[in-house]
Amino acid sequence: MPSGNHASGGGIHAANNTYSTLLQAGRDINLHQQDPLPTEPVPSAEIDAIRRAWVAEDGEGKEIATAPGVLTMLGCDERVVVIAGPPGTGKTGAGLRALSELRPILPGIGGSRLRLRLEHVLPDWESVEKDKFLLPAEPGRGYLLDVSGESARWERPDVTARKFLAHAETLRKRGSYLVVVVGEHGWPENDPVLGRNVVRAVSAPPGNRIARRHIERLYPGAARRGWMQESVREASRGGDGPDGVDRWAPLTGLLRADMQPGDAAALALELSRISDSGGTVKDARDLVLRWRERVSTVFRETQDSADDRALLLAAVMLEGLSPAEVLDGARLLLDDQRKRGIRDILTGRDLVTRLEAIQAKIDGQRVSFRHLPGYPVAVLGHFWRQLSDIQPGLIQWIKQLTAPKKPGAARILQIADLLAQLAVDERDLRPLDVAQSWAATGDAGQDGASRLLARVARDPALGQEARTRLRSWAGQESRANATVAAVVCQGPFSKEYPRQALTCLRWVLGRPEHDSAVSVAEEVLRAMGSDVQLLPRVWATANRWLTDYQQPDDRNHLAACRAVLALLRPSADYPVATLLLANALEYTDTADELVQGWSAALSVPTLEPRCEEVLSAWAEAVADGSLDADAVVEVLNRVIREHWMSGPLSTFIAGRAGTGYTSQSVVNLRERLILRWNDPRETRSEMHSNQPLMTQPAAPLEVVPALRTETGDEA
């Protein structure tokens, strides 16, 4: 047990818990609370940058008032402060800087001043005006919520503003703060009440000064290279300078003052990577210029050779594979199936020479651009912009290149990263179209589709449009589009945007036929429910669907029933049913919801085969100990009272005519149900007494913590 923590007969004492919400292991999960919007910690590198490498002056040497203005308001006990302004004015950095500088006295710690724990709030809503959501309010937090990409489109900005400002009192009780970043337009600044807490961002530090400060303060290795000095000398690699020395223009003169702060910080990081990998000042210079000169040179030298340009594209996409595999990818792009004669082969340039001409290196028989970070993205962007007619063919080629048994199949995740960056850089969603093909190619393709779309969905500028497209795909007849929407809802997206993930899954689960898209959605839903942090939200949402959509011919009613059956299907990989049944032993509400879910599903004729499958699976799970027998019998007995004559239940209890074999697990569960039915001593109240019925969680997990019970006011 850590120092300061101890257990005694009177209970447990935990030390050093200033920022903590205490969770007691071995207890049940609270399924009946609304969770706040998801958050993620601000990366330590980002915090380090705003503390150690902050640039406080503009190009004329005057102090930029944004961060000090926010800090002043926060210091005056304003718990919600808004930063408004156009893109590129450093709003996010200013908000984080102010929060990092604040030293509040947190409640309950004897007057000590501590630093806040900084977290980004993720805007997990479909409509900020219409949706009900809780803003987070953990103790000692400095929250930053960036809605700059959507604030100009708010239909009722006054309603939205009140939602955020109403959270102030809850934050005050918890010793926390919220900074909301909005665009130039949208927030009702002229309102005497709603505009009182607004700080307007007018200017940002020059980008060249930000990059230089980051190099000097954060990356000492790159600083020692002297790339920001007036002149630089390095050993010649074949240049014409005297004494074998080349002179290059100073990087300082190439850094642009109009770079946005985020771009300048990213540039400094990339320069440090070039330095660490042994790159030269020429490589650094090309990076500062975003490879424009080098890419233009390569395109100029290959303008008469479709073969070499195809090789360039293939090398970018297939980096890390062998030269021969890259060549195969290039020929696939050109649809070149012709057989070459010996004369052509012997008189052509060798493959390594061709690859080096397009700036690739061959490292251990693998094509690499590691020495040129950012070059592959620049090449892809140049093709996309300057040869725009190639866009449809390029997307089609990537689909073919990444098909099973093709060279790019093993590179799907890396290609997804390239396409995500392309979409963000070009503000263009068309690169996302490859996800439809990937989603139909098994686990690797689905992982790639999920990664691609989830990354774009997080972009502050493009994210809302990408998330809207996902919801649109989820409701379309196209099985490919529906599958993509379901696939994206797994992994990081489900944790960052659980509300929108569940909305997409509802649309897919409501499809008329139980096709592969529905199967994927069911599996993704089970995966979400198996996360004990997400289970309360998933279960509450499924039950809300049952309540909101009760018309039998409503696709949403079908979706709700499918969702319940998916969650109730026992599985070693997805222990949702185990967690729910264990919870039902102690909480009447959960047992009632299980009965309601079964009753709804049994009322849908098209779901009868699924109901039979889940009933049989429950019997197997009782037999192997995965599900608590008492909870199963209690729930099913109540369901039987309402649906004794329904097909699945009557078949389960009485058997199907003509069936030659019934599993022993089903026979045993039938006996338990009949005995419980005929035992007058068993009452429902005994199942939910205040005495704990188990000392360990039934889930096959080491610890099943209770979710936090403290939540903020509903926004």
Instruction: Kindly write down the DSSP assignment for every residue of 45-72, as one continuous string.
Output: HHHHHHHHS---B-TTSPBP-HHHHHHH
Local structure of 183: helix, strand or coil: coil
Residue 677 confidence (pLDDT):
67
Tell whether 342 and 283 lie within a shared domain. Answer: no
Q: Report how far residue 94's alpha carbon sits from residue 201's, in angstroms, rounded to the nearest whole number.
A: 9
Place of tokens 């000097």: 216
- 158: enclosing H helix or E strand: helix 157-165
With 80 as the cut, is the pLDDT of residue 661 above it? no
Q: Is the pTM of this model over 0.85?
A: no
Tell whether 272 and 310 lie within a shared domain. Answer: no
Q: Report how far residue 332's alpha carbon sits from residue 363's, in angstroms, rounded to the nearest whole number.
A: 24
- Which of these, 416, 619, 372, 715, lies nearest to 611 by C-alpha position? 619
Residue 81, burial from CB neighbour count under 10 angstroms (0-12, 13-18, 19+): buried
In a domain, 453, yes or no: no
- Which of these, 244, 253, 250, lies nearest to 282 by C-alpha position? 250
Sequence-distant (≥ 6) Cβ neighbours of residue 577 within 8 angstroms: 567, 568, 569, 570, 571, 618, 621, 626, 627
Residue 27, burial from CB neighbour count under 10 angstroms (0-12, 13-18, 19+): middle
Tell whether 308 and 181 lie within a shared domain. Answer: no
> Bridge partners of 362?
367
Q: Report how far residue 333's alpha carbon sits from residue 338's, in angstroms, rounded to the nearest whole number.
A: 13
Tell whether 620 and 713 lie within a shared domain. Answer: yes
In a domain, 28, yes or no: no
With 50 as the cut, is the pLDDT of residue 213 above it? yes
* Mean pLDDT, residues 32-56 taken together: 90
Residue 5 confidence (pLDDT):
46
Lowest mean per-residue pLDDT among 157-171, 338-352, 533-547 = 338-352
Q: Report how far residue 267's alpha carbon sits from residue 49's, in angstroms, rounded to the nearest whole number.
A: 13
In a domain, 435, yes or no: no
In a domain, 64, yes or no: yes
Is the distance from CB of 637 to CB of 584 less than 8 angstroms? Answer: no
Query: Which CATH number does the domain housing residue 88 bear?
Result: 3.40.50
Kindly write down the DSSP assignment for every residue of 285-318, as one continuous string. Answer: HHHHTTTHHHHHHHHHHTTT-HHHHHHHHHHHHT
Is the distance from CB of 124 to CB of 500 less than 8 angstroms? Answer: yes
Residue 229 confidence (pLDDT):
64
- Which of these, 431, 510, 435, lies nearest to 477 by C-alpha position? 510
With 60 as the cut, is the pLDDT of residue 619 above it? yes
127: confidence class by pLDDT, cuts 50, 70, 90: confident
Tell whether 569 and 595 lie within a shared domain. Answer: yes
> Bridge partners of 105?
113
C-alpha distances out from residue 413 to 188, 238, 448, 633, Å: 42, 38, 5, 46
In a domain, 498, yes or no: no
49: confidence class by pLDDT, cuts 50, 70, 90: very high
Residue 662 confidence (pLDDT):
67
Is the distance from CB of 372 to CB of 359 less than 8 angstroms? Answer: yes
Q: Report how far residue 287's alpha carbon sits from residue 277's, in angstroms, rounded to the nearest whole number.
A: 14
Residue 59 confidence (pLDDT):
87
Tell whether 140 and 277 lie within a shared domain. Answer: no
Is the distance from CB of 197 to CB of 165 less than 8 angstroms? Answer: yes
With 90 as the cut, is the pLDDT of residue 239 above it? no
Output DSSP code: residue 554: -
Residue 138 confidence (pLDDT):
92
> Among residues 291, 311, 327, which one ends one of the domains?
291
* Mean pLDDT, residues 636-663 taken together: 71
Tell whether 109 and 252 lie within a shared domain. Answer: no
Distance of CA 360 to the CA centre of its chain: 32
> Among residues 178, 200, 222, which one ends one of the domains?
200
* Mean pLDDT, residues 704-715 taken together: 31
* Mean pLDDT, residues 390-410 taken together: 94
SS3 letters for 582-635? Answer: HHHCCCHHHHHHHHHHHHHHHCCHHHHHHHHHHHHHHHHHHHCCCCCHHHHHHH
Let me know the angle formed at the C-alpha of 556 by 553 and 559, rounded to the nearest 5 degrees.
Answer: 105
- Which of these, 544, 537, 582, 531, lies nearest to 711 by C-alpha position? 537
**Letter for the amino acid at 160?**
T
**Letter for the amino acid at 226?**
G
> Using only C-alpha atoms, what is the Rg of the chain?
30
With 60 as the cut, is the pLDDT of residue 466 above it? yes
- Residue 293: phi and psi, rounded to 5, are -65, -45
**Letter for the amino acid at 651?**
T
Tell whether 314 and 279 lie within a shared domain. Answer: no
With 90 as the cut, is the pLDDT of residue 144 above it? yes
Tell whether 56 and 138 lie within a shared domain. Answer: yes
Output DSSP code: residue 130: T
31: confidence class by pLDDT, cuts 50, 70, 90: low
Local structure of 362: helix, strand or coil: strand
In a domain, 470, yes or no: no
Let me know the angle formed at the C-alpha of 598 by 540 and 500, rounded to the nearest 5 degrees.
Answer: 30
- Residue 226: phi and psi, rounded to 5, are 70, 25
> Among residues 270, 291, 312, which one ends one of the domains?
291
Tell whether 359 and 283 lie within a shared domain. Answer: no
More confident residue, 464 or 22: 464
In a domain, 6, yes or no: no
With 60 as the cut, is the pLDDT of residue 697 above it? no
Mean per-residue pLDDT of the chain? 83
Let me know the angle formed at the C-alpha of 464 by 513 and 512, rounded to the nearest 5 degrees.
Answer: 5
* Mean pLDDT, residues 211-216 taken together: 92
Tell whether 286 and 386 lie within a shared domain. Answer: no
* Mean pLDDT, residues 465-472 taken together: 90
Is the distance from CB of 690 to CB of 588 less than 8 angstroms? Answer: no
* Mean pLDDT, residues 480-486 taken together: 89
Is the distance from CB of 687 to CB of 630 less than 8 angstroms? Answer: yes
With 80 as the cut, is the pLDDT of residue 544 above it? yes
Tell whether 283 and 306 lie within a shared domain. Answer: no
* Mean pLDDT, residues 439-466 taken together: 86
Is the distance from CB of 194 to CB of 156 less than 8 angstroms? Answer: no
130: confidence class by pLDDT, cuts 50, 70, 90: confident
Residue 681 confidence (pLDDT):
52
Q: Report how far residue 340's alpha carbon sits from residue 435's, in angstroms, rounded to the nearest whole number.
A: 35
With 80 as the cut, is the pLDDT of residue 36 above it? yes
Task: Give the domain range for residue 333.
Answer: 295-371+374-395
In a domain, 417, yes or no: no
361: confidence class by pLDDT, cuts 50, 70, 90: very high
How many domains does the chain fold into? 4
Q: Report how far residue 313's alpha carbon sits from residue 522's, in angstroms, rounded to the nearest whole number.
A: 38
Is the distance from CB of 612 to CB of 652 less than 8 angstroms? Answer: yes
Q: Report how far residue 414's alpha carbon sits from residue 368's, in angstroms, rounded to the nearest whole number.
A: 13
